[in-house]
Structure 1
């Protein structure tokens, strides 16, 4: 078993060894690193139509799928490398490679080169789990929950500012402007982490990379994600879909067999076998994955046009969408920060269960009331509070059930599982909505019954996440776990 190294305590009260201003700057740097992943995903989704027209391609799905696939495949390697070589160092390498990919995409003159750049940029997907893991190691106890809440709540800033930013960039500079903005934002993130974030001393001493385990896990999960992503095009009973799913299962089973025999496994089975760990990973992945997928339904509902007997979307502009949903984004931020503060005193299971229940209530109301700005706001305010609570409590719950040396590995496992859940729920939403939709001139449109059923699907998945909370045993609260080794 590999040894771990931590810095010795500096004083009985580590909270006093770094100024509040310095801690605030570190939070900003990590917030930028974590939420840049979400911002780039939002910008990519809005840009893809113009990219498809410019490069005259019918394979535009690869514009976003390429990043997801490479990020999924390399995530296990990046997380293991962070445990061996240091979280900040590996985060800088991932950010640097992401910047290289962004630059290649920005200057690409053909679609293949653009996809190569987007694929390289996918390595930056590891920023979120690494950022949350660093939070545990470098902040004093009273800052950990608040910092995690702020970082998670940043998704509200992305939801609010993303449509305005993308609209301005597209209108003023075209899709090239968006791609260059991605590169510039990644460069800023690299500088912020390099200058402001201290290195975590928590790592494996003499650890070795489990290359075979990484290939099997990364390959299996990537193949599964690819199959589900293509399922609507291939057909869910097609030979290609069944073959890919079967191949993914074979690789994942082989991964479990290999991990039993290697001295230094990629994800120690002794960690994932603990009920406190696997139950948290399961509940949080389903809950957060479902909330990530709800955007598929809501954005289509809001932005799809109104065409009699063909499409019953609201037909709003991107700017109108941003204005109406801004109160929702604000509630996500407030709830996330508040959850980070409460986590020191309230059982995290209660926070996760309450947040999930609020999303069920909010989107449950939305299944019937989603036809006007007032109804969207009513649905969103309730679900927004729940979303902020769920997103903020996830990294805190992982801190509570694993040791410092397991933190990055557990965060990586949760990110992988949440990504798979998001893809599965998103694709199921497309299938459900299409049952009450029509195809016109090669474009899939949806009737109101389709949007209603899509929202019911999300409600059901969020309810499953809420019920899974009962599987989680009582663990230490945030005020009782080991944190702040580098403080």
Structure 2
């Protein structure tokens, strides 16, 4: 017999296509869920960062990323439509890696904040990843890919606390910062290798630089004023000047957007009642819940020092173990809400979710001194959090046409980011009113944590009330 070898049969085109789609989904899931994971890691690390750098300005450790991410988002959404979603996705990821690297190597708090600010650009990758999903996959894959991208939050909800606890307990906050940098680098490689460029473009479009600068500048001035209000004095001329200046700049932004040919967010969409009411209610409701993590994480991770700090002093791992039932409640509520949304008015679901968060954190204002009490508070609020998180994208789909989906997602993400920044900054201010500075570090007494939770309760209640403004939706997938 001859000793010749036969070539292996060619791989069927369908199998090769399926493999490419699977790899693209993996790359996009990593990119999207890294945004949530980094936010969770930041919350866990902030107490140790504050103590290490002896700073009373720990609020900016998380707010810097939120602020730059919010500022960059409108430009990213517009640039993606003009130049290609993958290109902008890689730019945002690359800048995120540079920022994470600067933060990981920082030897002083100012440099750390600069790094965190640059890294905040990465936040724009989430809406870009969802947008590119509609463009690069076959029709039969779009729904599945989008569901997997959203469903990955379950992995973050369960695995994130244990990962952050291990990093913090065994490697300190430096380990957390280096994990962020390495993970962002992996995201860049995955997108480069496995995500194709979208062919969808806006021909002949222009960037609305003036609108973006006005919007970002107004928001930045407002947030900075709120953060410094306790130092300047709430009735001081400096505080009032910043707030008035921010209001004027934002009004000019509205005026400009009505007159430019290609605005960041077309007034023809945002002025419709079904759209602006949904954007307002979901932004306040979801943004407030995003901010509550700051209060709770400081409460459980700050040390217990008589007359100085009334934190519970948990380790990162103990925090993960205690809060794992809460993560399960969030995930199950989100899945159940997705099923109920086909049968129940989405306004009812958003209002119910917000009401449950008010009840849960309302109980927490008085009962937050033990693991059992944290679980009791978290289970009730967790169900509400899962409902709100799941119903927001569904309500956006109901409010706009398919052609407006990307812009509406961008507007909602921007509004939610602004709400989160303002509520977070106010939470730090409120907690510091009943706190103590020891060796340059801001610690918080029990009254401060209580007032921080009351602030969140009030903001969640406002979100529930705003639901009443939303008219009944007419689903765009059904005949009018």
Same fold by TM (over 0.5)?
yes
Q: 1:284-309: per-residue Cα shift (whole Å, max 9, x none)? A: 01101111111122223322344445
Deviation at 1:111, TM superposition (A): 5.8
- Give the conservation status (yes or no) of the 8 Å contact 1:225–1:423: yes
How many correspondences in the alignment?
466
The aligned counterpart of 2:188 is: 190
Deviation at 1:347, TM superposition (A): 3.2
- Give the conservation status (yes or no) of the 8 Å contact 1:80–1:266: yes
Equivalent residue for 1:323, pick from 315, 321, 324: 321
The aligned counterpart of 1:295 is: 293
The aligned counterpart of 1:68 is: 66
- Give the conservation status (yes or no) of the 8 Å contact 1:146–1:341: no
Q: Distance in 1 between matches of 2:209 and 2:136?
A: 29
Note closer, same or farther for the CA distance 1:339–1:131 as it changes in structure 2 (3 Å cut).
farther
Note closer, same or farther for the CA distance 1:193–1:343 as it changes in structure 2 (3 Å cut).
farther
Q: 1:195-246: per-residue Cα shift (whole Å, max 9, x none)? A: 4545555442221111111111121112222222333343333333222222
Q: 1:29-58: per-residue Cα shift (whole Å, max 9, x none)? A: 333222322322333344456666777877
Deviation at 1:172, TM superposition (A): 4.4
Q: Structure 1 residue 276 and structure 2 residue 278: aligned?
A: no
Q: Structure 1 residue 406 and structure 2 residue 404: aligned?
A: yes
Q: Which moved more, 1:419-428 or 1:162-171?
A: 162-171
The aligned counterpart of 1:367 is: 365
The aligned counterpart of 2:11 is: none
Q: Distance in 2 between matches of 1:355 and 1:457?
A: 18
- Give the conservation status (yes or no) of the 8 Å contact 1:79–1:412: yes
Please state whether the residue corresponding to 1:328 is helix, strand or coil. helix
Q: Structure 1 residue 462 and structure 2 residue 439: aligned?
A: no
- Give the conservation status (yes or no) of the 8 Å contact 1:343–1:477: no
Q: Structure 1 residue 259 and structure 2 residue 253: aligned?
A: no
The aligned counterpart of 1:103 is: 101
- Give the conservation status (yes or no) of the 8 Å contact 1:134–1:200: yes
Deviation at 1:176, TM superposition (A): 4.1
- Give the conservation status (yes or no) of the 8 Å contact 1:51–1:175: yes
The aligned counterpart of 1:237 is: 235
Q: Which moved more, 1:50-59 or 1:354-363?
A: 50-59
- Give the conservation status (yes or no) of the 8 Å contact 2:59–2:425: no
Q: Distance in 1 between matches of 2:162 and 2:201?
A: 41
Deviation at 1:268, TM superposition (A): 0.8
Q: TM-score, normalised by structure 2?
A: 0.84
Please state whether the residue corresponding to 1:204 is helix, strand or coil. coil
Aligned Cα RMSD in Å?
Answer: 3.4
The aligned counterpart of 1:228 is: 226
- Which structure 1 segments of 5+ residues have no match? 1-15, 482-487
Q: Distance in 1 between matches of 2:111 and 2:434?
A: 38
Q: Which moved more, 1:373-382 or 1:401-410?
A: 401-410
- Which structure 2 segments of 5+ residues have no match? 1-13
Deviation at 1:185, TM superposition (A): 0.8
1:12-411 equivalence runs, <5 A: 27-47=25-45, 62-107=60-105, 114-135=112-133, 151-152=149-150, 154-155=152-153, 157-197=155-195, 199-411=197-409
Deviation at 1:167, TM superposition (A): 4.0
Note closer, same or farther for the CA distance 1:31–1:384 as it changes in structure 2 (3 Å cut).
farther
Q: Distance in 2 between matches of 1:164 and 1:90?
A: 32
Q: 1:408-439: per-residue Cα shift (whole Å, max 9, x none)? A: 32222222221221222223333444455555
Between the two structures, name the one with larger relative contact order (CA 8 Å, sep ≥ 6): 1
Note closer, same or farther for the CA distance 1:175–1:360 as it changes in structure 2 (3 Å cut).
closer
The aligned counterpart of 1:472 is: 470
Q: 1:111-164: per-residue Cα shift (whole Å, max 9, x none)? A: 665544433322112122223334555678898777666645655544544443
Note closer, same or farther for the CA distance 1:346–1:20 as it changes in structure 2 (3 Å cut).
farther
Q: Distance in 1 between matches of 2:474 and 2:198?
A: 22
Q: Which moved more, 1:83-92 or 1:441-450?
A: 441-450
- Give the conservation status (yes or no) of the 8 Å contact 1:148–1:395: no
Q: 1:359-389: per-residue Cα shift (whole Å, max 9, x none)? A: 1222233233333222221221221121112
Q: Which has the larger radius of gyration?
A: 2
Please state whether the residue corresponding to 2:34 is helix, strand or coil. helix
Q: 1:59-100: per-residue Cα shift (whole Å, max 9, x none)? A: 665544433332222221111112223333322221122223
- Give the conservation status (yes or no) of the 8 Å contact 2:302–2:312: yes
- Give the conservation status (yes or no) of the 8 Å contact 2:67–2:421: no
Q: Which moved more, 1:344-353 or 1:381-390?
A: 344-353
Q: Distance in 1 between matches of 2:53 and 2:399?
A: 48
Q: Which moved more, 1:286-295 or 1:411-420?
A: 411-420
Q: TM-score, normalised by structure 1?
A: 0.83
Note closer, same or farther for the CA distance 1:403–1:46 as it changes in structure 2 (3 Å cut).
same
- Give the conservation status (yes or no) of the 8 Å contact 1:302–1:316: yes
Please state whether the residue corresponding to 1:475 is helix, strand or coil. coil
Note closer, same or farther for the CA distance 1:49–1:315 as it changes in structure 2 (3 Å cut).
closer
Deviation at 1:281, TM superposition (A): 0.7
